[in-house]
Amino acid sequence: MFANTRAAIVGGLLATVAFAPTQAFAWGHTGHVMIGRIAVQKLPAEVPAFVRTAQATQQIGELAAEADISEGTGYPTTGTYPNLRTAFTIHDGERDAGHFVDLSDDGTMVENVAPFSPLQSSRRDFDTQLRLAGPTITTYRQYDGYLAYNLVDQFQQVRKDFALIRAFTKAIQTATTAEDRSYFQYQLQLRQTLTLRDIGYWSHFVGDTSQPMNVLIHYNGWDPNHLGYANPNGYTQAPIHSPFEGSFVKAFVNQSDVAALVPAAYADCACTIELRTINYVKASALQVGAVYAAAGTDLYTTAVPAELTQANVRLAAGATELRDLIVFAYRDSVNVTVGFPSIKVSDIENGTIVLTPTRFARD
Dihedral class, residue 112 (left if φ above 0, else alpha if ψ from -120 to 50, else beta): left
At residue 113, the pLDDT reads 67
Q: How far apart are CA 208 and CA 304, in angstroms?
A: 23
More confident residue, 335 or 7: 335
Q: How far is CA 356 from CA 62, 139, 174, in A?
A: 35, 51, 9
User: Residue 9 above 70 pLDDT?
Assistant: no
At residue 135, the pLDDT reads 56
The pTM score is 0.91
Each residue of 20-60: pLDDT tens digit?
Answer: 333 345 799 999 999 999 999 999 999 999 999 999 999 99
DSSP 103-153: B-TTSBBGGG-SB--SPPSSHHHHHHHHHHT---S-S-GGGG--HHHHHHH
Nearest to 201 by CA among 30, 23, 2, 32: 32
- Give, for 68, the enclosing helix (H) or strand (E): helix 66-69
Asked which of 22-26, 295-299, 352-356 is least confident by mean pLDDT, the reply is 22-26
Question: What's the angle, vertex CA 153, arms to CA 210 and CA 8, rounded to 5?
Answer: 60
More confident residue, 231 or 39: 39
Nearest to 31 by CA among 207, 277, 224, 159: 207
Q: Which residues pair with 115 in a beta bridge?
A: 108
Q: How far apart are CA 345 and CA 348, in angstroms?
A: 5
Each residue of 316-334: pLDDT tens digit?
Answer: 999 999 999 999 999 999 9
User: Residue 8 above 90 pLDDT?
Assistant: no
Q: How far apart are CA 84 and CA 229, in angstroms?
A: 33
For the chain, domains (ranges, CATH) are: 3-333 (1.10.575)
Dihedral class, residue 86 (left if φ above 0, else alpha if ψ from -120 to 50, else beta): beta
At residue 54, the pLDDT reads 98
SS3 content of the chain, % helix, strand, coil (to 5): 55, 5, 40
Residue 232 binned pLDDT confidence (cut-offs 50, 70, 90):
confident
At residue 12, the pLDDT reads 33
Q: How far apart are CA 181 and CA 172, in angstroms?
A: 5
Rg of the chain over all Cα atoms, to the nearest angstrom: 22
* Residue pair 208/31 in contact by the 8 Å Cβ criterion: no
Nearest to 120 by CA among 110, 130, 134: 130
